[in-house]
Amino acid sequence: MKIIALISLFLAANIGFAAEFPKQTEGVWTAKNFQFHTGETAKELKIGYITLGSPNNPAVLILHGTAGSAKGMLNKDFGEELFLAGQPLDANKFFIILTDAIGVGKSSKPSDGLKAKFPRYNYDDMVQAQYRLVKEGLGIEHLKLILGNSMGGMQTWLWGTKYPGYSDYLVPMASTPSAMSGRNWMMRRFISESIRRDPDWQEGNYKTQPKSAQFTNVFYPLATSGGNQHLQFLAPNSEKADAIVNDRLAAPFTIDANDYLYQWESSRDFNPDSELSKINAKVLAINSADDERNPPELGIMEIQLKKVKNAELYLIPASIYTSGHSTTGQAKWWKEKLNSFIN
C-alpha cells in the first residue's frame, strides 16, 4: 500500500493539476434586443464569461483572439502567468473578467441553430456585447484595465474609441490600429474562400463538417504565425517540417465550420483610424518584432500612435524562442512591463 501511495504522489507531482484561481465563476448573461451593425436584432444574445476574484476589487477585462475563448485565456502561458498570487493581475487583488466573444464558447453563434442565417457580426458587435455584459450584466461602472490579444487587441483599440474614459489603461497586443489590409486580410480571405468554395459546405447547411475548415486551421496559423526564426529552429530540414505539419493535420478539430468562418470574416471592416484621437486612457501597445500579421517594418504602428494622446509601444525582440504572432500569448515576455505600466 505504501508503494502505491508513493506512486500516486509521484504521478500527482509530475503530471500536475490545473491551477486554481481565486473565486472562479462561470456564467452566461443574456443581452435583450441586441442590435447588430447590420440592423438585424436578436431578441436574446447569450454572452459567456468567466470571472476571477471579488467584484469589490478593481476590474480588469481580458479579450481573447479569433476562435479562442474565455477559458482558453486561463492556460499556463497566459492565465497562470498573470492571475495567480503574486502575478501582475493577481486575482486576489483584481476582479478579472474574461468573455466569450460573439460566435464562440458559450456565447451565441451560428452552430446554435441559425447556421448561415446568423447575423454577419463584426468587431463592433463583439465590443458592444462585451460592454453590455460588463455594464448591465456585471454592474461594473469602470474598468482599471482592458487587455486583449490579437483579435482581442483590435477590440481593445475599439473599446478606447467607443467608450473613452471607461477604462484607465488599455493594453492592445498583437494588433495594429489601422484598417484590416495587406497580407493579413488576403490570408484571411483564403480561409473564407476555402470554406465557401468547398462543395461540402452547402451554403452553410451541411450535415457533416466540411474538411476545408480543419485544413485552413492548419494552413493559416503556419502561414501567419510561429515566427521565422522559431519555425526554422524547430524544422531545420524537410523531415522535421513534415512531422510538424502531419501532427497538426492529425490533431482533433472540433470547431464548427460556420462558427470558424464567421469568426475570421468578422475582421473585414476593422478600422479605428479616424477615431484614435478619442482615446483618453493610457495605452501600452505590445507587439513582437517577428509578428507576421503586424510586421513592424511597415512603420504603421508608429504613425498611428501619434494620433493617440498617451501611448507607447513595447516591441518584443525576435529570437528562436519567440513565435511570431503567437508570442504575446506567452505573458512571460511582457508581464513585467505590464506591471510597471499599471502601477
Residues that are catalytic: 150, 291, 325
Report DSSP letters for 193-210, one per residue.
HHHHT-GGGGGGT-SS--
The helix-helix angle for 211-224 and 182-196 (nearest 10°) equals 170
CA atoms within 13 A on the CB side of 149: 23
Report DSSP letters for 50-64, one per residue.
EEES-TTSPEEEEE-
> CA torsion sign, 66 to 70 to 71 to 77?
positive
Amino acid at 98: L
Q: Residue 107's closest CA among 92, 121, 90, 91?
A: 121
Interacting residues of 33 by C-beta distance below 8 A, sequence separation 6+: 41, 42, 43
SS3 assignment, position 47: strand
Q: Residue 281's closest CA among 141, 156, 173, 179?
A: 156
- Residue 16 and residue 176: Cα distance in Å, rounded? 37
Residue 208: alpha-carbon gap to chain centroid:
27
Interacting residues of 182 by C-beta distance below 8 A, sequence separation 6+: 298
